[in-house]
Amino acid sequence: MRFGRRRPSALSPDPDLIRVLAELLAENNLTEIEYAVGSRRVRVSRRGSTIAAVTGTVGGAIPVAAGADAASTAAEHPGAVIAPMVGTVYLAPQPGVPAFVRIGDVVEPGQPLLIIEAMKVMNEIRASRAGRVAQILVEDAEPVEYGTVLMLIE
């Protein structure tokens, strides 16, 4: 057995390649970059301050690397809170006060969860169902697109 750098398999992430792609992402102020050679594909994306990497083979199922954003499966979650508009998310009613909700909080239907500012109008996003806040997938003052999964309620 040879010691040293081992060649990544088709389904294992190549940390050096991911590092280079993440640097390109930051240097060029991109939100996503994809690199493919043959059937091997690596996509690196940024969501807020988190950088996620997805590796896989073209035409097959793509396994998600550790720490990657699972937005596609989150959108299918029955308790997904989805952005109804484009804007900027605020997790608290105003600066310096506690957030509307935290992970683990129990919420009731109609309870305010966060605010999306769109065209200088503050729009409260309220819980559509009762449950426990399982994940908050956005950061305070982060811009979001229509359809972005904001949080999950279980």
Per residue in 91-108, pLDDT (tens digit) is: 999 999 999 999 999 999
% pLDDT > 90, the chain: 42
**Local confidence band at 19 (pLDDT 50, 70, 90 cut-offs):** confident
CA distance 108 to 88: 24
For residues 91 and 114, the answer to whether their CB atoms sit within 8 Å is: yes
Q: How confident is the model at residue 26 (pLDDT cuts 50, 70, 90)?
A: confident
Confidence of residue 3 (pLDDT cuts 50, 70, 90): very low
Nearest to 22 by CA among 68, 56, 74, 76: 68
**Ordered structural domains, the chain, with CATH:** 1-69 (no CATH), 71-153 (2.40.50.100)
Could you read off the pLDDT of 60-77 as tens digits, one per residue? 443 443 334 445 567 778
